[in-house]
Amino acid sequence: MSGADFTPNEMMTIAASRALKNEDVCFVGIGAPSAACNIARLTHAPDITLIYESGTIGTAPDVLPLSIGDGELCDTALTTVPVPEMFRYWLQGGRITIGFLGAAQLDRFGNINTTVVGDYDHPKVRLPGGGGAPEIASSSQEVFITLAQSKRSMVEKIDFYTSFGHGEGGDHRQRLGIDTKGPTLLITDMAIWKPDPETKEFTVVSLHPGVTRDHVQETCGWTVLFADDVEETPPPSALELATLRDLKARTEKAHKGA
């Protein structure tokens, strides 16, 4: 049984959470990835290991963190290790199964920009930067990306390569000596996308309920490819919706200091 009416953002978060498995070790980005990973932990994947960039391992926050430095992460973690150990031993040691990232700009091959919009020396917008995302993108066994669709965020050519996806497509990662899978899943507020096995261009494999192909194309800056058999994403269940909304309500209350 599906839940009540839901928003596109709720569908995106829940669809992303379903992609995670109980045995995953997940390097979590702040924002939409954080919500998705914690919904997975609170529903079908109670034993998932969530790791944040600040060095918190096996964290189980009761509310969504404002940043990687949020005390909620340390308070609920199994252990907290120094950041250099987090990157060298855990991430670059191949122990992370899923890196979960967001993006300000994304291209069809899963390359991410979170650095600048416009020219690097004279940007229209200066973005937060890479943080640990470039390392997560290259060293996690595979990468999931969440993004709300718009022509501003899904672009023909990104303004800056912050985190390398599939580069120019095909075997570009392998040619650079990167032996991890790279982006294997893109979940937007309209659809689920997977890279073509050969070209590595993201292709729509599932449309969320009520979304048409035209909707997807109108909010994307490149010509969208659709799989031969496009499915419909199952709507959120009552449990998934209630869990997400309770988490968001707790988070809002905590961050307002209530």
Per-residue pLDDT of 3-54, as tens digits, reads 459 999 999 999 999 999 999 999 998 788 899 999 999 999 999 999 998 8
CB atoms within 10 A of CB 197: 7
77-88 per-position pLDDT tens digit: 999 999 999 999
pLDDT of residue 229: 97
Instruction: Give the mean model confidence (pLDDT) for residues 165-187.
Output: 98
The C-alpha atoms of residue 246 and residue 244 are separated, in whole angstroms, by 6
Q: How confident is the model at residue 171 (pLDDT cuts 50, 70, 90)?
A: very high
The C-alpha atoms of residue 76 and residue 91 are separated, in whole angstroms, by 21
* Residues marked as catalytic: 53
Q: pTM (2 decimals)?
A: 0.94
Q: Determine the CATH number of domain 8-255.
A: 3.40.1080.10
Domain spans of the chain, in order of start: 8-255
pLDDT of residue 1: 39
Find out whether 49 and 25 touch, Cβ atoms under 8 Å. Answer: yes
Q: What is the 3-state secondary structure (H, E, C) of 136-177?
A: HHHHCCEEEEEECCCCCCECCCCCCCCECCCCCCCCHHHHCC
CA distances from 1 to 13, 191, 192, 234, 235 (A): 18, 21, 21, 10, 9
31-41 per-position pLDDT tens digit: 888 999 999 99
Closest CA to 16 of 181, 211, 149, 147: 147
Instruction: Give the mean model confidence (pLDDT) for residues 230-251.
Output: 96
Let me know the angle formed at the C-alpha of 76 by 257 and 236, rounded to the nearest 5 degrees.
80
CB atoms within 10 A of CB 89: 12
77-81, 127-131, 223-227: lowest mean pLDDT where? 127-131
